[in-house]
Amino acid sequence: MTRRWSLILVPLVSVSLSGCIGEDQEELTSWMQHERNSIKPDVKPIPEPTKFVPYSYGGERFVEPFSSEKLASILKSGQQVSAEKSALIGPELNRRKQPLEAFPLDAMMMVGSLNRGGKLVGLVKVDSLLYQVTPGNYLGQNFGKILKIEENQIVLREIVQDAAGEWIERPAALQLQEESSK
């Protein structure tokens, strides 16, 4: 008997449930249509593109940057400057280089001085080698000539190029530094 009831109840429940789903479906569909119609998107219009204005080139009257004329004019101006700078840098270029001119000044360290016959001799350390220097010797890569040696520093003058490309003298000094124990 229970089997009979289950055979009768299952179709009856499924028919009644399908009727409920159909009513809710129509109501849901109408609500969604109403919502679609009521929503208005806020779309800003695309701005007009800027108008391209071609630039007219007026450089035909100038010398081309890669022409041989341009190179010749630069070489001529370089020869004029070389005559002016030769008074300061000329003697430096014509002399034989000394060993300590191969190293930059900041790679050197003054570690002391010696008094030899009333004249001070500076002790300069480069890498792990010790050099003795006197006034008139050259240090560094900028034509640094030693002018004076004191107990705590070596005073020199360097010849360098300024921002305009002209050679000028610049004072420099190598200060006494104590070596830290490792």
Residues 135 and 125: their CA atoms lie apart, in Å, by 17
Other C-beta atoms lying within 10 Å of the C-beta of residue 7: 10
84 and 107, same domain (yes or no) = no
Q: In terms of C-beta density within 10 A (0-12 exposed, 13-18 middle, 19 or more buried), how is residue 149 classed?
A: buried
The pLDDT tens digits of the residues spanning 63-92 come to 676 777 766 766 666 555 454 556 778 888
Separate counts of helices (H) and strands (E) for the chain: 2, 7
Is 42 among the domain residues? no
Tell whether 156 and 168 lie within a shared domain. Answer: yes
Residue 138: burial class (beta carbons within 10 Å; 0-12, 13-18, 19+):
buried
Tell me, yes or no, whether 146 and 117 share the same domain. Answer: yes
Judge whether 12 lies within some domain. no
pLDDT of amino acid 86: 60
The pLDDT assigned to 121 comes to 94
Same domain, 114 and 154: yes
Considering the domain architecture, whether residues 82 and 143 belong to the same structural domain is answered as: no
Nearest of 158, 150, 160, 111 to residue 132 by alpha carbon: 111
Give yes or no: residues 106 and 86 share one domain. Answer: no
pLDDT of residue 177: 84
Give the domain extent around 87: 62-93
Q: Determine if the pTM surpasses 0.85.
A: no
Q: What is the pLDDT of residue 136?
A: 94
Tell whether 37 is covered by a domain: no
Task: Determine the pLDDT at residue 111.
Answer: 93
Which residues, 6+ apart, have CB-to-CB distance to 149 below 8 Å?
113, 120, 121, 122, 133, 134, 135, 155
Report how many domains make up the chain: 2
> What is the CATH number for 149?
2.30.30.830
Sheet of strand 153-161, all strands in order from the earlier edge strand to the far edge: 138-139, 144-149, 153-161, 167-175
| Position 22 in a domain | no
102 and 169 both lie in a single domain: yes
Q: Are residues 81 and 130 in the same domain?
A: no
Q: Which residues have a Cβ under 8 Å from the Cβ of 171 and sit 6 or more positions away? A: 155, 156, 157, 158
The pLDDT tens digits along the chain (182 residues) read: 566 666 666 666 666 655 555 566 888 888 889 988 888 888 888 999 889 888 887 777 776 767 777 667 666 665 554 545 567 788 888 889 999 999 999 999 999 999 988 899 999 999 989 999 999 999 999 999 999 999 999 999 999 888 777 888 999 999 998 766 55
Check residue 37 and give its pLDDT.
Answer: 87
Is residue 117 domain-shared with residue 168, that is, in the same domain? yes
pLDDT at residue 85, rounded to an integer: 56
Distance CA 111, CA 105 (A): 14
What was the pLDDT predicted at 162? 80
Residues 71 and 101 in one domain: no
Q: Is 11 left (phi over 0), alpha (psi -120 to 50) or beta?
A: alpha
d(CA 69, CA 63): 7
Same domain, 71 and 88: yes
